[in-house]
Structure 1
Amino acid sequence: MRPMLATRGDRVFPAPPTGSAWLHEVKWDGVRALIEVTARGLVMTSRNENAITAAYPEVHGLADVLPVGTLLDGEVVAFDDGRPSFARLADRMHVRDAARAERLAVHNPVTFMAFDLLRLADDDLTGRPLVDRRAHLEELALDEAGVSVHVAPAYDDGQMLLEATRAQGLEGIVSKHRDSTYRFDHRSKDWLKYPHRARASYVVGGWRPEKGVGDRLGALLVGEPTAHGLRYRGRVGSGIAGKAAARLAELLAPLEDATNPFVDEVPRVDATGARWCRPSLVVDIAALGTTGGGRLRQPAYVGPRPDLDPEELIDHESAEQ
């Protein structure tokens, strides 16, 4: 099962919708996940259906407080001084060894912010309005369950929340229609996202060694997957050093390929000496927008996104317009 996704808000309304038909939530800077309680225990999956249960032992206790069959939707978040920190979460996302995850949980804990209840025991709630699902979710009193799970609060005033999250340096908000039903693997216009940060996910098509340091990774060559192939968006060197560079090198080593995966031209200054790779690693990049030629302006590497597949990034809606 893949979770329901939100549409970019500016494609529907230029600002968060107003009125009693909508509620608004903070857009958490984390990793989307579904949590299901089964007869064998808790099962946690990412938005592309990868098993991530071992990575987050903090939430395993939910299996002891929720009935078998219960299915939650939410986001795994790492906090730093009370604010969501994707950088801290990046150290946890790729861990699959249970013993290592237990050690990391002590010094770098995460919280699951639950914002939807899709099934309660054997009762399927996906066909009910969002307000009903949230009412059942709040009745579970997860904040008092003694595990690292909280119910994400909802607000009536979207513009107020947008301004407040901007002032606090948070990622943004999600506006949701109160009567919206839940459709797996569907991007809905009943859920609208309004992010503040100019951060997006791209696919790595190659990398360049650091000058004068042999084969040490110095910069990524990233692209945007489209219906017509991977289009080049620029070279990213900022934010890549130390542990980040070592981790990237580890992720890219098995993807090495002799063929340039980009369907458009990579400038010679970027292509010279480049090491190409199969376009399957997704990373998050922060940038000051794009140039007229579609290149990222002052891009900086944020972290890997093992929870995303390149196919998920293709904007099929724009391709059809």
Structure 2
Amino acid sequence: MLATKADHVPSGPEWTHEVKWDGVRALAEVSPGGVGLWSRNLNQITTAWPDLLGFDLPSSDLLVDGEIIVLGERGTPDFRVLAERMHVRSARAAETLARRLPATYMVFDLLRLDGEDLTRLPLVERRARLTDLGLIGWAVPEAYDDGAMLLEATRQQGLEGVVSKRLSSPYRPGDRSPHWRKRAHRFRRSYVVGGWRPQEGTRDRLAALLVGEPTPDGLAYRGRVGSGISGRTSAMLAEAVSNLTRSTSPFDDIDGGVPRVDAVGTTWVDPVLVVDVDTHGLGYTRLRQPSYRGLRADLTPDDLPDQS
């Protein structure tokens, strides 16, 4: 069951609210043969997550829904770090990654228990029975009555957002339901321009910027921003960078530097321009779904705080 996008968090006693985790959705099925993990598209992903297996679970017949997360350096879920593990199919490689990047399974719904299909029950009953299981090794995240409070708390902590669920809702596998609503944050920060890339098939139409942020070690690469750049904006930015071309990257090799896929075809520029960018979440090494918002003629790189 999937949530629909919302522009606000619903209020009222008929709703409960959870943190929107920056992870990968997964079903876990416990049977006498062991534990199996399945993606949202029902592809088996058990091999990739050995650290989520082997716990003393309360039943040999159990089906739950949840989110797999991996914490980044700042102690918050980091999808870029998680992505290193998502597509691993080698058991040996998965064991190595599990030691370096341990995962947590955040279980938020109980669909079957001891042969009983619970999907027709209202969420409030499924949630109560999930809590009563006393899971060990897998986490059951808190649910909150006050959605507005949770939205502000997740914003301050740099988390992805909030999922609101109607307490009376059954679980309908595969459906995108209006009874589950997700409200993701957008964050705006200022970044330094270090390069630009042309539109595919052209040599001079500016289609994306490569941006970074100042750190004590230099300019750390944070990602490529293409959304929000078109038409007049592209022409304006092209003019702004026209006299700033340089032969080498201004980014230091912090956090791995600029990936080859971003570097090839890029025109490097002196890091003197500052732009505002909207993005999902904070605390990530790379911007998530960034969108260009404007050129900051009132700021220089020296005006930006060290955000490392």
Please tell me the TM-score bracket, short chain as reference: 0.5 to 0.7
Q: Which runs of 5+ in 2 are unaligned?
A: 188-198, 204-209, 211-222, 228-233, 235-250, 263-286, 295-308
Q: Report what 2:168 is aligned to.
A: 179
Higher relative helix content: 1
1:176 deviates by 0.4
- Structure 1 CA distance for aligned equivalents of residues 5 and 98 of structure 2: 33
1:289 deviates by 6.2
1:123 deviates by 1.0
1:84 equivalent in alignment to 2:72 = no
Q: Report what 2:57 is aligned to.
A: 65
Q: Report what 1:106 is aligned to.
A: 99
Mapped contact 2:226–2:292 kept (Cα < 8 A): no
1:17 deviates by 1.2
1:132 deviates by 0.6
Mapped contact 2:166–2:179 kept (Cα < 8 A): yes
- 154, 157, 166: which one pairs with 1:165? 154
What letter is aligned with 2:149?
Answer: M
Of structures 1 and 2, the larger Rg is shown by 2
SS in structure 2 at match of 1:154 = coil
Q: How does 1:99-248 map to 2 (within 5 A)?
A: 99-142=92-135, 145=136, 147=137, 149-197=138-186, 245=259
Superimposed CA distance per residue, residues 249-289 of structure 1 (whole angstroms, 9 cap, x where no aligned partner): 9xxxxxxxxxxxxxxxxxxxxxxxxxxxxxxxxxx952226
1:138 deviates by 0.6
Instruction: Name the TM-score, length of structure 1 as normaliser.
Output: 0.61
1:18 deviates by 1.1
What letter is aligned with 1:46?
Answer: S
1:8 equivalent in alignment to 2:1 = no
Q: Report what 2:297 is aligned to.
A: none
Identity across aligned pairs (percent)?
Answer: 48
1:32 equivalent in alignment to 2:25 = yes
Aligned residues: 221
Q: Report what 2:289 is aligned to.
A: 286
- Structure 2 CA distance for aligned equivalents of residues 243 and 109 of structure 1: 24
Instruction: Name the TM-score, length of structure 2 as normaliser.
Output: 0.63
Q: Report what 2:195 is aligned to.
A: none
Superimposed CA distance per residue, residues 103-161 of structure 1 (whole angstroms, 9 cap, x where no aligned partner): 1111110100000000112011100010110111111111xx2x2x1001100000010
Mapped contact 1:37–1:66 kept (Cα < 8 A): no
**CA distance change for structure 1 residues 178 and 50 in 2, over 3 Å: closer, same or farther?**
same
- Structure 2 CA distance for aligned equivalents of residues 127 and 188 of structure 1: 14
Q: Which runs of 5+ in 1 are unaligned?
A: 199-206, 212-217, 224-233, 250-283, 292-321
What letter is aligned with 1:29?
Answer: D
- Structure 1 CA distance for aligned equivalents of residues 293 and 226 of structure 2: 13
What letter is aligned with 1:9?
Answer: A
Q: Which runs of 4+ in 1 moved over 6 A?
A: 218-223
Superimposed CA distance per residue, residues 29-84 of structure 1 (whole angstroms, 9 cap, x where no aligned partner): 0000000012221110111111110111111124x423222001000000123211
Superimposed CA distance per residue, residues 195-253 of structure 1 (whole angstroms, 9 cap, x where no aligned partner): 0037xxxxxxxx979x9xxxxxx999999xxxxxxxxxx9xxx9xx969847x79xxxx
